[in-house]
C-alpha cells in the first residue's frame, strides 16, 4: 500500500494550491501520487516544516520545476481538520542521473539594504566612524511571486558608495531562487520529486517590524501589530486565539529586528507570575498565543500491544491529530506513584516541545522541561544564566 492509498483509506488528503502571493495556477488533490509524508509541529511556532515525495510524469515534473516553489500545501484529516499548512521552500528533482535543486525560497532577497561603518579617509590612518544605512533596494516583480523577503546586510568599514554597490549586487543575485545541478552519465530515466515545506510562521523571519510610538504597551496589543505588519497581510486578522497578557513592553521598535525575533522576545517574557506562554501559526495562518497548559491531556502506555496516544477520556488520538504544547503521561511506569504538585517533577510526564508525524503510523515526540526561570530571564532581558 502506497502512502497515497493509505491516506485515502483513512480519509487523509493533501492539496497543492497556488502560491499565496502570485495566485497563479490551480488547486490540485495530490493525495494519490504521495510516496512519503512527514511534518513537524512545535510548541513555539506551530506548523514548522514538512517534507513529501510524489510520483510524477515528465510533464508534471516540468510544471513543478517551473511553478512549484512557493506553492501552498495543506494536509487535512478525515474530519476536514487542517493538520499542516505551509509553502514549498525547496524542490529536489531527479531525472535519471540528473539532479536539480531549486530553492530554498527563504534564501530569496527582494528588498535589501546594507548597514555599514563609515570610513573617514581625510585622516591618516583612515578611521571607522558611526554606523549608517544605505538606501533600500527592491525588486517588486520578485515580491509579487515570493512575497517580501527582506535581507539586512552588515559589513565593516566601507564607503557609502561601496556599501550601496554591495546591497544592489546582492539584490540582483538573490531576487530569484537559486538552483544547482549534478549529472551522472548513464543514470537511467527514472523520475522522482521531493518537496521540502515550511510553515507560514517562517515568513515572520522575512520582514522587520518598526514602531515609532513612545510609552508602553502590552504583549497582547503588540503581537497583532507585528503580525499585521507583513506587506501582503498574509496572517489572519482573527486574533481571538491571542490570550490577554497585560505585561508591559516598550512601544518603540526600530532596530531592524525581524517580526519573528520580536515575537520570540515577547513570548519568552511570560506573564507577571513567570508562567510560560506558547505561540504558533496554525490553520488559516491564524496565530495562537496562550499560557502553557497545567494539566495532562494525553496518555501513552509503553507496554501496549498497539502503540497509541489516548486523551483524558481514553479515546484514541490519531498520530496526525497529536499537537505540541501539551502534557503527555506515560502511565504504565512508576505505577501507583503519587502525582507531585509540579507536572515537570514527575519523570512520567512529557511536555511536548515538538513532534514529527511520519506516514503512515510514525510519531516521534521531543519533550522539554517546564520552568519559570526562562520567563524571569526574558523579563530581565537576559539570555541565560550559568552555575558552577
Confidence of residue 128 (pLDDT cuts 50, 70, 90): low
From residue 154, alpha-carbon distances to 31, 119, 308 in Å are 44, 15, 50
From residue 207, alpha-carbon distances to 111, 137, 152, 186, 349 in Å are 9, 14, 10, 45, 38
Please give the pLDDT value at position 370.
59
Q: What single-letter DSSP state applies at residue 264? A: H
Assigned CATH topology for domain 3-105+178-202: Thrombin, subunit H (2.40.10)
Spatial separation of the C-alpha atoms in residues 205 and 256, rounded to whole Å: 11
Peptide bond into 125 cis (omega under 30): yes
Please give the pLDDT value at position 1.
67
In this predicted structure, the answer to whether residue 332 has a pLDDT above a threshold of 50 is yes
Spatial separation of the C-alpha atoms in residues 169 and 180, rounded to whole Å: 20
Name the nearest CA neighbour of 194 among 38, 27, 13: 38
C-alpha cell at 293: 497548559
- Pairing type for strands 277-281 and 44-54 reads parallel
Quick: pLDDT tens for 110-123.
999 999 887 666 77
Q: Are 175 and 139 in contact (CB under 8 A)?
A: yes
Average pLDDT score over residue span 190-197:
95
Average pLDDT score over residue span 255-259:
88
Quick: pLDDT tens for 7-23.
999 999 999 999 999 99
Handedness of CA 352, 308, 29, 105 (dihedral sign): positive
Handedness of CA 61, 62, 63, 66 (dihedral sign): positive
Please give the pLDDT value at position 127.
65
Quick: pLDDT tens for 266-319.
999 999 998 999 999 999 999 999 999 999 999 999 888 778 999 999 999 999
Average per-residue pLDDT in the chain? 90
The tally of CA atoms less than 13 A away on the side-chain side of residue 255 is 7
Amino acid at each position: 500500500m502506497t502512502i497515497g492509498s493509505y491516506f485515502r483509506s483513512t480519509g487523509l488528503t493533501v492539496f497543492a494550491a497556488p502560491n499565496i502571493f502570485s495566485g497563479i495556477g490551480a488547486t490540485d488533490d495530490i493525495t494519490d501520487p504521495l510516496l512519503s509524508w512527514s511534518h513537524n509541529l512545535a510548541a513555539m511556532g506551530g506548523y514548522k516544516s514538512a517534507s513529501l515525495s510524489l510520483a510524477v510524469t515528465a510533464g508534471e515534473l516540468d510544471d513543478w520545476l517551473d511553478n512549484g516553489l512557493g506553492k501552498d500545501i495543506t494536509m487535512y484529516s478525515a474530519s476536514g481538520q487542517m493538520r499542516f499548512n505551509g509553502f514549498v521552500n525547496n524542490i529536489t528533482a531527479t531525472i535519471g542521473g540528473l539532479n536539480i535543486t531549486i530553492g530554498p525560497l527563504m534564501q530569496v532577497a527582494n528588498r535589501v539594504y546594507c548597514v555599514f561603518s563609515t570610513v573617514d579617509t581625510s585622516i591618516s590612518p583612515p578611521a571607522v566612524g558611526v554606523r549608517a544605512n544605505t538606501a533600500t533596494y527592491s525588486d517588486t516583480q520578485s515580491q509579487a511571486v515570493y512575497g517580501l523577503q527582506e535581507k539586512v546586510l552588515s559589513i565593516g568599514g566601507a564607503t557609502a558608495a561601496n556599501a550601496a554597490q554591495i546591497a544592489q549586487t546582492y539584490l540582483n543575485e538573490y531576487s530569484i531562487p537559486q538552483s544547482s545541478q549534478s549529472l551522472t552519465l548513464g543514470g537511467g530515466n527514472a523520475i522522482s520529486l521531493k518537496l521540502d515545506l515550511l510553515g507560514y510562521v517562517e515568513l515572520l523571519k522575512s520582514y522587520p517590524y518598526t514602531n515609532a510610538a513612545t510609552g508602553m504597551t502590552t504583549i497582547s496589543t503588540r503581537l497583532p501589530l507585528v503580525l499585521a505588519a507583513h506587506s501582503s497581510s498574509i496572517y489572519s486578522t482573527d486574533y481571538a486565539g491571542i490570550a490577554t497578557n497585560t505585561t508591559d513592553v516598550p512601544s518603540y521598535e526600530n532596530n531592524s529586528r525581524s517580526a519573528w525575533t520580536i515575537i520570540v522576545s515577547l513570548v519568552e517574557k511570560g506573564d507577571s507570575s513567570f508562567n510560560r506562554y506558547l505561540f504558533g501559526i496554525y490553520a488559516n495562518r491564524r496565530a495562537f498565543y496562550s499560557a502553557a497548559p497545567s494539566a495532562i491531556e494525553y496518555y501513552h502506555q509503553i507496554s501496549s500491544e498497539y502503540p497509541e496516544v489516548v486523551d483524558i477520556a481514553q479515546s484514541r488520538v490519531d498520530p496526525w491529530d497529536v499537537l505540541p504544547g501539551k502534557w503527555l503521561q506515560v502511565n504504565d511506569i512508576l505505577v501507583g506513584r503519587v502525582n507531585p504538585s509540579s507536572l515537570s517533577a514527575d519523570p512520567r510526564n512529557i511536555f511536548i516541545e515538538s513532534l514529527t508525524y511520519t506516514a503512515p503510523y510514525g510519531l516521534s515526540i521531543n519533550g522539554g522541561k517546564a520552568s519559570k526561570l526562562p520567563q524571569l530571564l526574558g523579563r530581565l532581558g537576559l539570555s541565560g544564566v550559568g552555575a558552577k
